[in-house]
Chain A
């Protein structure tokens, strides 16, 4: 039982919140509602706003979805947000299974590989740096991304992940939500 934000289960949610829960499950392609959404289920306005932000940042654009998941995973790990590191790590690794066809390969454990294009690693490094210390962001960070071939639109899309990850981490840490049982099973 969470004694900070109440977790609103699907069965107990209002019709508006149920509809939003449905959207999260469909678009994230998971068969359950994440605790991150449940802890906002008593405020449909906030839930809608935050879900819209998550969806716009994570699920649309030109940057590969797996790279986005790895960036959020890396930021969350560095910030020590266990919930987000676990959730996005699981999602990235589930993609790695899709990409490799093997269960024992985890992208999160191999993102330093020499065989992975440097565009991935540079993006993870720069965006993580900017997410942890936004004030220390320099033009050099942007140049590093451009040198990797990212366009201005790509960079805006990447940098928005710094913002998203901070929001995800903040809500997860403040609400004190535990890792979803379903994700624990996955692990």
Chain B
């Protein structure tokens, strides 16, 4: 070998004969190659992309192996990489047309055995046509399949210009190179996948952000629309309440006049028949007045109409007694008012009076034997509680959910107009409180109003 090279290159390597035997020679050369492999492995480990791996391959492989041409076909799951190094440079591609050489590599991988071919084999084998190894200087070829797992493997192929320049040591280095490459390339491909996923996530995130912004804009538009509509409704409601309140008042004025005239007629008319007609007329007018009184109270829905002040229950209870004492006495109803308050509460006394009037009126209507109506005013924690209880006929359980509805009468014999409890619930709400009813047929009903302490 050396003699041939010396002839062709004119300038021989100056050799000083030494006591080296083949074994030492081999050992020494392997150290040199391991040194080169160490540099290769270090550089590959530092590589941040497959191109850097390719550069390391072309830089260092020549110090480990005689490799005129070198190809590495690498597969990790569905990803492929092909490295082709020659004359100091390396190309890397991740897709390759499925030519004969790829089929050859697959077959080699399937067999699991390394392969050596001489120049005659290469010339006769169409596999090499059009591949990296289709080169006039090529006289020998060897390849090694390295299988890490069924879907993770590579094939390293080496072409040389000399016929016998390969050995077991070469295959050992090929395997080492293959192991370093497979470790690093799988890592880089995984990183590539992670980056790709990250990009997908970023895209999805950007899309979500865009959609979110659109939703935000729609929400804002919707809120504006809702606010505008609410404002319109509020205005309409206020106008309606004012109309409602004033109309109720306006109706009550002629009714009062009619009642006055009826009273005058009762005093001046002697005709019994006419008096009876006037009496009927007065009853109807009184009922109508009661209904209008309730309706006008609904004008209080407008919170601007409420007047919050420190509550004094003495005049409220006095007014209630004045209103219901006679009716209660006539019906034999025991009317009891109990005041247990220690603290001062703040609310609208007119509304509270109206609420209590309606509740007591309701209880009086449905009294039973040994009737009583009892009002308790007390405090529970921080809340003001108004409790009206009676021992009347009670309300059927299946009616309880509807008793606060407008114009609803739980009892066919009710003399009321179906507005009392409806108005009570509305007004309790205006004051920020809650009303609750419990009842048992034949034993009576209890209405409890819980109001916030105010201020």
Residues 259-315 of B at the A interface (beta carbon under 8 Å): none
Interface residue from B2, B11, B64, B167 paired with A78 (Cβ < 8 Å): B11
Chain A interface, >50% SS class = helix
Q: Render B16-58 as a binary contact track against A, CB cut-off 8 A, 1 for contact.
A: 1111100011111111110110010000000000000000001
List the A side residues contacting B17 at CB < 8 Å. 109
Evaluate contact between B25 and A129: CB separation under 8 angstroms.
Answer: no
List the B side residues contacting A124 at CB < 8 Å. 13
Asked if A117 meets B64 with Cβ closer than 8 Å, knowing A125-B5, A128-B11, A151-B58, the reply is yes
List the A side residues contacting B32 at CB < 8 Å. 66, 99, 116-117, 120
List the A side residues contacting B59 at CB < 8 Å. 62, 151, 154
Check: A134 CB closer than 8 A to any chain B CB. Answer: no
Q: Which residue of A lies closest to B26 (CB)?
A: A115
Check: A105 CB closer than 8 A to any chain B CB. Answer: yes
List the A side residues contacting B15 at CB < 8 Å. 109, 111-112
Check: A27 CB closer than 8 A to any chain B CB. Answer: no
Interface residue from B1, B28, B88, B162 paired with A149 (Cβ < 8 Å): B88
Asked if A78 meets B14 with Cβ closer than 8 Å, knowing A99-B35, A104-B19, A147-B87, the reply is yes
Asked if A125 meets B13 with Cβ closer than 8 Å, knowing A117-B65, A149-B67, the reply is yes
List the B side residues contacting A64 at CB < 8 Å. 35-36, 39, 63
Check: B411 CB closer than 8 A to any chain A CB. Answer: no
List the B side residues contacting A111 at CB < 8 Å. 13, 15
Evaluate contact between B61 and A149: CB separation under 8 angstroms.
Answer: yes
List the A side residues contacting B86 at CB < 8 Å. 149
List the A side residues contacting B133 at CB < 8 Å. none
A117 to chain B, nearest CB (A): 6
Evaluate contact between B11 and A100: CB separation under 8 angstroms.
Answer: no
Evaluate contact between B64 and A110: CB separation under 8 angstroms.
Answer: no
Check: B354 CB closer than 8 A to any chain A CB. Answer: no
Check: B229 CB closer than 8 A to any chain A CB. Answer: no
Q: Which residue of B lies closest to A123 (CB)?
A: B62
Q: How far is the CA of A158 from the CA of B11 in the complex (A)?
A: 17
Evaluate contact between A125 and B66: CB separation under 8 angstroms.
Answer: no
Interface size range of chain A in the complex: 35 or more
B interface size (C-beta, 8 A): 50
List the B side residues contacting A148 at CB < 8 Å. 62, 68
Q: Which residue of B lies closest to A152 (CB)?
A: B88
Check: B89 CB closer than 8 A to any chain A CB. Answer: yes
A129 to chain B, nearest CB (A): 4
Evaluate contact between A129 and B58: CB separation under 8 angstroms.
Answer: no
Residues 60-80 of B at the A interface (beta carbon under 8 Å): 61-68, 70
Evaluate contact between A154 and B88: CB separation under 8 angstroms.
Answer: yes
Evaluate contact between B14 and A74: CB separation under 8 angstroms.
Answer: yes
List the B side residues contacting A151 at CB < 8 Å. 58-59, 87-89
Check: A14 CB closer than 8 A to any chain B CB. Answer: no
Q: Which residue of B lies closest to A77 (CB)?
A: B14
Interface residue from A66, A126, A150 paired with B88 (Cβ < 8 Å): A150
List the B side residues contacting A126 at CB < 8 Å. 9
Asked if A108 meets B16 with Cβ closer than 8 Å, knowing A114-B1, A115-B169, A154-B88, the reply is yes
Interface set of A (CB-CB < 8 Å, partner B): 62, 64, 66-67, 74, 77-78, 96, 99-100, 102, 104-121, 124-126, 128-129, 132, 146-155
Task: Supply 16 further A-B pairs (C-beta < 8 A) apart from A125-B13, A150-B62.
Answer: A64-B39, A67-B63, A78-B14, A99-B31, A105-B20, A105-B28, A106-B16, A115-B28, A115-B167, A117-B33, A118-B66, A120-B32, A147-B68, A149-B85, A150-B88, A151-B58
